[in-house]
Amino acid sequence: MKQYKVLEDYIKDGKLDIEAVIREHSSYIYTSILNMSHTALSNEDIEEIISDVFFILWKNKDKLKYSDKLNFYLVGIAKNLLKEKYRKRKQNLNIDDYENYLSNNKTLDELYDENISIMILQKRLNLLNENDRKIFRLFYYGNKKTKEIAKEMNMNEITVRTRLHRIKKQIKKDLTLGGYSYE
104-118 pLDDT, tens digit each: 555 666 666 777 777
Measured in whole angstroms, the distance separating CA 51 from the mean position of its chain's CA atoms is 19
7-90 placed in CATH 1.10.1740: yes
Nearest residue to 39 via CA among 111, 113, 123: 123
Q: Name the more confident of 88 and 100.
A: 88
Looking at residue 147, what is its pLDDT?
93
Looking at residue 1, what is its pLDDT?
41
Angle between helices 130-140 and 146-153 (to 10 degrees): 140
Q: What is the mean pLDDT of residues 11-26?
A: 79
Answer yes or no: is pLDDT of 154 > 90.
Answer: yes
> What is the tens place of the pLDDT at every residue in 68-83?
677 777 888 888 888 8
Domain ranges of the chain: 7-90, 96-177
Nearest residue to 33 via CA among 71, 89, 75, 69: 75
Contacts 24+ apart (CB under 8 A), 54-58: 54/18, 54/21, 54/22, 56/81, 57/18, 57/21, 58/16, 58/18
Looking at domain 96-177, its CATH class is mainly alpha
pTM of the full structure: 0.46
> What is the tens place of the pLDDT at every residue in 19-72?
888 888 888 888 877 777 766 677 788 888 888 888 888 888 777 776 667 777
Q: Name the more confident of 106 and 123.
A: 123
